[in-house]
Structure 1
């Protein structure tokens, strides 16, 4: 099996290196009792031998494709000895996000467990986005919880001699030339279409400020959990589905924080799962968009439901030119890639729906946890200046586990006050707009 990175995976890795940011996922488990540490150690050992047991080895050619290699230096399981109150759980999770990870040299993920003073336990797993997407992560969690190891044996780092690596990577580049040619044509078409559509999609948000501090800032994060039956009942009452309710929710939240187009609409970008059996890609996803009227979302989801269905059908029928452009990424100078990059589009918000998570993924110590949340892919290393240049960022990740729908938002808008507390208030207010009730992650208590 080839260990050459897919062009989208290479783009994710090279873009992060070019602009100095790291995209992460954080899985959070909450137990209302002490965890079985032996069971958690077994889970950790299977993660070390599972789908996350690989790293990226860069090509010796500046324009060469990188390759997957085996990871031999995963981090140890972190067991915090001193218990902390549940009120400090969010702060501890933020500390976990700040632990250094490296997709090339390792470690690529980190597992830790924190006892609560009330007898409960919190568990955190932070994973690099360049190693997996959301669906791949859920698969990795399930396999590790079930005690299954990855059947693929990746080559050891540095196992190719320099001349062998140069020869093989040069040959790969020659084979990639037709795809690169198609990427250039697709890029030209996209540029023309972008110029034609520039007027109507301008946002009414505060104009981007091209200055700001170069010190890293944390993008505000907020999480709520909603009873799954209540969520589904509300979706049905509004004439929609769980997914269309999420899209409507995302649009309404974007309206609340001021991220709307000049006509009051919101463009929602949705990742589309393209993972197949035996897929070794880290990011096996496509992307489609849908324009939503947030004013309709809280009263009638039928129009949004139809628009989402049409967008997904269009994605399956029409070639994705943005994906095609990725074939040229390895040929671009990294300095150029960094100078032209953007974390998010000012006229779009992100909506990632993981759907129902396999129940096995909730059993990290061999027993059922009380709550499981996957906290999206926040960017670490972003500075105020970068966020202003990018036009900020706004995305939401959701899924369902343990009888609840979890919703995790990340949002930063230039010219606006950006804090966790304000985002949490906006998230709670948006729930009220839909007549839904939610619980904050840090407010979960023993029954």
Structure 2
């Protein structure tokens, strides 16, 4: 089995290094009782031996493809000794997100436990996104809870020797030449299409003036809420939709509340598409589809969104993803150019990622069912205020179903508006209320 990174994984790594931005996933469990420490230690042990037990080794060639190698180290479980009120759990989760992680030298992930003053417990697992996507993380957690280790054994770091590494990576570059040619053609097509779309939807863009401290990293607000799964399904059915189309409608409604709409009031909702198959060793096995949504109609009728989502997925399956094909060029681009051309989304766009039904085993880190499970994606750690302004802000969703609940994690940074976790949570709860749904937060 080849340990060469897939081009999408290569892009994620190179882009992060080029602009100084880290993307992480955070799995959160809440127990209304103390944690079974021995069970959690077994979970941690199998995480160390599972699909997260690898890291990235750079090619000695400046244009070479990087490779997966065995991880050089992982961190111990962090047991917080001083209990904190549940009201401070979100603050603690934010602290955990800032744990130093490194996909080259390790550790690439970190597991921690916080006791609550009322006798309950919270658990956080923070993982670098360049090591896995949401579906891969769910599989890794389920495997660890079930005591299953990764059958793949990756080579040790620096085991090839420099001459062999140069020879093998040069050979890989030659084999990539046909893909690079196709990537150039795809890039030209996408550029023409982008220019045509920009001309058709031309509108004045106002970039706020740079403020003092705008070149310093800024936190992008996060919020997570839970909705009863039966209530969610009943509402989707009543509106003529599905669980996924309801999530797309909710994402569009939140984007509308934040002013992220086009001249006609529409919202472009991007939907990551899971491509992970059995034995897939890619960290990020995803593609992308998109639909244009009218957020006004979403709260009363989901049939149009449902049809649009279905058509977008059919088109995705029939047509090659040119944006993915372009990734073959990434190793050849100077890193400064890669950083200068990076984007995090469209000013009238929002991401809506649906993990579907999470394997129940993923909700048992100590061997028993947690009372709550949620997964968050924090894709832009390290972005500065100036960069966020240049990108037009950012907004996205990650949702899944576990323990009879639908969790919805949102992150959002809006221009010329207050950007706090509390404000985002209230906006999210209000958007749910627009659909006659009741959400709760921990």
Name the TM tier (shorter chain).
Answer: over 0.9
Deviates more, 1:314-323 or 1:341-350: 341-350
Superposition TM-score, scaled by structure 2 size: 0.98
* Alignment partners' CA distance in 1, 2:348 and 2:265: 11
1:232 aligns with 2:233: yes
Q: Which residue of 1 aligns with 2:364?
A: 363
Alignment of 1:15-30 (within 5 A): 15-30=15-30
Indicate conservation of the 8 Å contact 1:227/1:404, yes or no: yes
Change (3 A) 1:151 1:202: farther
Change (3 A) 1:202 1:250: farther
Q: Which residue of 2 aligns with 1:408?
A: 409
Q: Which residue of 1 aligns with 2:208?
A: 209
* Alignment partners' CA distance in 2, 1:102 and 1:78: 17
TM superposition shift of 1:379? 1.9
1:14 aligns with 2:14: yes
Alignment of 1:379-418 (within 5 A): 379-418=380-419
Indicate conservation of the 8 Å contact 1:203/1:261, yes or no: no
1:425 aligns with 2:437: no
Q: Which residue of 2 aligns with 1:161?
A: 161
* Alignment partners' CA distance in 2, 1:19 and 1:35: 39
Q: Which residue of 2 aligns with 1:187?
A: 187
TM superposition shift of 1:380? 1.1
* SS of structure 1 residue aligned to 2:196: helix
Deviates more, 1:274-283 or 1:334-343: 334-343
What is the root-mean-square deviation of aligned Cα atoms in Å?
1.1
Count of matched residue positions in the alignment of Structure 1 and Structure 2? 440
1:150 aligns with 2:150: yes
Superposition TM-score, scaled by structure 1 size: 0.97
Change (3 A) 1:300 1:200: farther
Q: Which residue of 2 aligns with 1:296?
A: 297
TM superposition shift of 1:207? 2.5
Alignment of 1:213-224 (within 5 A): 213-224=214-225
Q: Which residue of 2 aligns with 1:445?
A: none
* SS of structure 1 residue aligned to 2:2: coil
* SS of structure 1 residue aligned to 2:226: strand
Indicate conservation of the 8 Å contact 1:32/1:120, yes or no: yes
* SS of structure 2 residue aligned to 1:322: helix
1:175 aligns with 2:175: yes
Structure 1 stretches of 4+ moved >3 Å: 199-204
TM superposition shift of 1:111? 0.2
1:282 aligns with 2:283: yes
TM superposition shift of 1:218? 0.5
Q: Which runs of 5+ in 2 are unaligned?
A: none
* Alignment partners' CA distance in 2, 1:63 and 1:401: 42
Indicate conservation of the 8 Å contact 1:108/1:127, yes or no: yes
* Alignment partners' CA distance in 2, 1:201 and 1:251: 19
* Alignment partners' CA distance in 1, 2:210 and 2:130: 29
* SS of structure 1 residue aligned to 2:156: coil
